[in-house]
């Protein structure tokens, strides 16, 4: 029964491998990363199948049960285990290198987009848009300051905090300060926008590095562990299957 369970586990594992890998797209780095990760995550199933198969063989040998096909199946399973070990030995560094390359590509894209956003601040279109916003803000503030009813409504509204209300009271007392406030906003806004762009860039870069490190370490370590496990099974199995030749008896004179 253990041999049947092991064979089923191996077969299901191989079918699952094909379902993950097909269709092949080795030129696509994203496909390589995702496929190697999924294959490594599923690599324990065939390993359990191999273990069950040899556990069943060991129990039968200890029980004195003899099967003619056992040696052939055992050698084929050991060869399969060695092949899987080599496969995971290749997949682990492949995944690490692909994740690293993808992270570098992502970081380059983040840098490029950030620089493009910074350049937009110096364009005439941005400056014209800022001037239009400045004019709209001026008109809204003048309308609010000149209309006592709306001003009092603003002051008494719970939607605005005390800092905003105090700001409006100062402008109401000194309307000439409005132009100073507008100029200050115009001067500060590009600097604030630039700071937000750079802060966002640093946040995205840190996230990309963390994701790459997590994927690389987790999947790479699992792949190496699976490779060692499969190769160890093959090595121990091949070492155990080969015995010393029995010594020849001397013929009596």
Q: Model confidence over 200-229: pLDDT tens digits?
A: 999 999 999 998 898 888 899 999 999 998
Mean pLDDT of 180-195: 83
Structure token digits, residue 132: 């239009």
Tell whether 147 is covered by a domain.
Answer: no
CB atoms within 10 A of CB 24: 9
Whether residue 132 is contained in a domain is answered as no
User: Between the CA of residue 4 and those of 13, 50, 102, 124, 221, what are the distances in Å?
Assistant: 14, 11, 42, 75, 30
- Tell me the residue range of the domain where 26 lies: 2-100+219-241
Residue 96's pLDDT is 92
Tell me, yes or no, whether 10 lies in a domain: yes
Split into its structural domains, the chain has a count of 1
Spatial contact of 103 and 251, defined as CB atoms under 8 Å apart = no
Q: Write down the pLDDT at residue 246.
A: 40
Evaluate whether residue 181 is within a structural domain.
Answer: no
Q: Is 207 helix (H, G, I), strand (E, B) or coil?
A: helix
Q: How many angstroms separate the most distant Cα atoms in the chain?
A: 134
Of residues 40 and 186, which shows the higher confidence score? 40
Quickly state the pLDDT bin for 74 (edges 50, 70, 90).
confident
Q: Does pTM surpass 0.75? A: no
Instruction: Tell me the mean pLDDT in the region 79-87.
Output: 90
Over the stretch 117-165, which tens digit does the pLDDT of each residue have?
888 888 888 888 888 888 888 888 888 888 888 888 888 888 888 888 8
Q: Is 43 helix (H, G, I), strand (E, B) or coil?
A: coil
Q: What is the pLDDT of residue 239?
A: 64
Report whether pLDDT(68) > 80: no
Domain assignment present for 252: no
Does the pLDDT value for residue 172 go beyond 50?
yes
Residue 131 lies in a domain: no
Q: Does residue 141 sit within a domain?
A: no
SS3 201: helix
Does the pLDDT at position 112 exceed 90? yes
Does residue 85 fall inside a structural domain? Answer: yes
């Amino acid at each position: 029964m253990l041999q049947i369970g092991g064979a089923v586990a191996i077969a299901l594992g191989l079918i699952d491998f094909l379902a993950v890998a097909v269709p092949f797209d080795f030129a696509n780095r994203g496909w390589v990363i995702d496929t190697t990760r999924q294959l490594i995550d599923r690599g324990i199933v065939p390993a359990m199948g191999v273990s069950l198969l040899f556990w069943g063989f060991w129990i039968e040998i200890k029980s004195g049960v003899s099967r003619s096909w056992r040696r052939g199946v055992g050698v084929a399973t050991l060869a399969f285990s060695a092949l899987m070990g080599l496969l995971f030995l290749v997949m682990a560094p492949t995944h690490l290198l692909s994740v690293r390359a993808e992270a570098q590509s992502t970081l380059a894209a983040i840098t490029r987009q950030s620089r493009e956003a910074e350049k937009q601040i110096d364009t005439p279109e941005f400056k014209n848009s800022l001037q239009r916003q400045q004019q709209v803000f001026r008109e809204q503030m003048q309308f609010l300051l000149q209309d006592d009813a709306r001003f009092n409504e603003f002051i008494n509204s719970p939607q605005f905090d005390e800092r905003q209300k105090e700001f409006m009271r100062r402008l109401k007392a000194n309307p000439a300060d409005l132009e100073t406030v507008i100029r200050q906003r115009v001067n500060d806004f590009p600097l604030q926008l630039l700071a937000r762009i750079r802060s966002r860039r640093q946040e995205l870069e840190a996230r990309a590095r963390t994701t790459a490190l997590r994927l690389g370490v987790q999947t790479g370590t699992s792949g190496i562990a699976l490779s060692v496990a499969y190769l160890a099974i093959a090595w121990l199995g091949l070492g155990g299957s080969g015995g010393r030749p029995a010594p020849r008896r001397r013929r009596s004179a």
